[in-house]
């Protein structure tokens, strides 16, 4: 069963648990209303209402159920994340293997991730255009570890053509308004889903294949998200073409629905949220030497 994504943003709420049900208590037009959701059905809870309060039991029960809780700041962008401590039966062995992974394998896996990202970016552009053709060429030039930084070269080509010839756009990861804020919101939601799958697989999200920073607790999630960013890009571009250029409730709902989008993974189709777990399991097989190819979700026409 696919887990649900719950968002709290319109009104302040108090979250508590009763009989393993998350109770969302809100006031509307002077009346207090309660909504009940089974904790085991929740995959990601996004709280974008700064006056929301919680009981300790609400958060701990969500963690026991394997949910990820994403907390947004004043700018409506995700500011932090709470993840469960894994109860995987082989967690110690998994982490030891993850820590011991060799440089060559890290480079080979990063090569696959970059190739998949550039390929996905090409699919987001009009077929036959110079930019589309160049991205397909760059994809073939990615080598182990990406020493030529094809990822950055491809990004420059991609973003210049992302909105088409009539509209210009400058990607700014630190952007807090406009299309950049929509992209950042979408990326953060996907990142949370990936981090949740990483923990469930018995791995540490802080130990990456390519990304490494002492203050980043989600380096591995930042590695695995790269080929999935174009899924967010496509959805944000659709919002833009329909007249939405800022974060608003309808736009957030549309981006959250990305987690249920049908994707293809190793000839099988299913929701993106499920594909995260299959991708993490594939990574474990690569780390253990059982597989050489990392399974990466790709978009499909719905």
Show me where the domains of the chain are located: 4-82, 91-299
Please determine, for residue 230, whether its predicted confidence score (pLDDT) is greater than 70: yes
* Residue with token string 């509209």: 167
pLDDT value for 3: 85
pLDDT at 201 over 90: no
Average pLDDT over residues 251-263: 94
Greater confidence (168 vs 285) lies with 285
Q: What kind of fold does domain 4-82 have according to CATH? A: Ribosomal Protein L15; Chain: K; domain 2 (3.100.10)
pLDDT over 70 at 86, yes or no? no
Note whether 70 and 192 are within 8 A (CB). Answer: yes
Domain 91-299 in the same topology as domain 4-82:
no
Least confident stretch, 58-67, 167-176, 241-250:
167-176
For residue 75, what pLDDT is reported?
A: 79
- Give the mean pLDDT of 146-157: 97
User: CATH 1.20.120.920: does it fit domain 91-299?
Assistant: yes
Residue 121, pLDDT score: 98
Determine the Cα–Cα distance for residues 177 and 14; give it in Å rounded to an integer: 28
Comparison of pLDDT for 296 and 88, the residue scoring more: 296
pLDDT on residue 263: 96
Q: Which of 21-35, 83-97, 151-165, 220-234 has the lowest mean pLDDT?
A: 83-97
Highest mean pLDDT out of 10-14, 130-134, 211-215: 130-134
Q: How does residue 148 score in pLDDT terms, banded at 50, 70 and 90?
A: very high
E strand spans, 19-116: 21-28, 31-38, 42-47, 53-54, 68-72, 78-82
pLDDT of res. 81 = 87
Give the pLDDT of residue 108: 98
Q: What is the pLDDT of residue 55?
A: 97
CA distance 140 to 35: 51
Q: Note whether 262 and 300 are within 8 A (CB).
A: yes
When pLDDT is cut at 50, 70 and 90, the band that residue 133 belongs to is very high
Least confident of 98-102, 125-129, 226-230, 251-255: 98-102
Question: Mean pLDDT over residues 233-246, rounded?
Answer: 95
pLDDT of 202 over the 90 cut: no
3-state DSSP assignment of residue 15: strand
* Contact call for residues 267 and 201 (beta carbons, < 8 A): no
Q: What is the rounded distance in angstroms from the CA atom of residue 121 to the CA atom of residue 269?
A: 20
What is the average pLDDT score of the chain? 91
User: What DSSP string runs through 141-195?
Assistant: H--TT-TT-HHHHHHHHHHHHTT-SS------TT--SHHHHHHHHHHHHHHHHHH
Residues 156, 158, 161, 162, CA torsion sign: negative
**pLDDT at residue 89 is higher than 60:** no
Are 66 and 179 contacting, i.e. CB atoms less than 8 angstroms apart?
A: no
Q: What are phi and psi of 122, to 5 degrees?
A: -60, -40
Q: Tell whether the model's pLDDT for residue 102 goes beyond 80.
A: yes
Strand ordering across the sheet containing 78-82? 4-8, 42-47, 68-72, 78-82
Q: What distances in angstroms separate CA 6 from CA 48, 65, 68, 256, 264, one per listed residue?
A: 11, 14, 11, 9, 24
């Amino acid at each position: 069963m696919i887990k649900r994504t719950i968002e709290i943003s319109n009104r302040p709420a108090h979250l508590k648990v009763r009989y393993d049900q998350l109770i969302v208590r809100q006031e509307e037009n002077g009346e207090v209303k309660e909504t009940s959701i089974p904790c085991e059905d929740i995959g990601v809870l996004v709280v974008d209402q700064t006056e929301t309060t919680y009981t300790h039991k609400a958060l701990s029960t969500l963690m026991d159920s394997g949910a990820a809780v994403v907390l947004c700041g004043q700018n409506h962008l995700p500011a932090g994340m709470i993840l469960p401590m894994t109860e995987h039966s082989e967690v110690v062995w998994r982490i030891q293997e993850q820590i011991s992974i060799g440089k060559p394998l890290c480079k080979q896996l990063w090569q696959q991730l970059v190739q998949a990202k550039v390929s996905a970016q090409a699919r987001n552009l009009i077929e036959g255009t110079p930019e589309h053709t160049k991205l397909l060429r760059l994809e073939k030039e990615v080598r182990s570890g990406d020493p030529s930084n094809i990822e950055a070269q491809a990004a420059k080509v991609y973003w210049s053509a992302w909105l088409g010839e009539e509209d210009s756009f400058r990607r700014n990861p630190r952007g807090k308004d406009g299309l950049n804020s929509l992209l950042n919101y979408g990326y953060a939601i996907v990142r949370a889903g990936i981090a949740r799958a990483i923990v469930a697989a018995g791995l540490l999200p802080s130990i990456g294949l390519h990304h490494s920073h002492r203050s980043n607790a989600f380096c591995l999630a930042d590695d695995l998200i790269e080929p999935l960013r174009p899924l967010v890009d496509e959805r944000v571009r659709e919002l833009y073409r329909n007249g939405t250029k800022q974060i608003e409730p309808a736009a957030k709902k549309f981006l959250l629905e990305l987690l249920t989008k049908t994707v293809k993974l190793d000839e099988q189709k299913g929701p993106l949220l499920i594909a995260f777990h299959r991708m993490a399991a594939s990574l474990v097989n690569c780390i253990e030497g059982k597989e050489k190819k990392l399974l990466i979700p790709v978009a499909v026409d719905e």
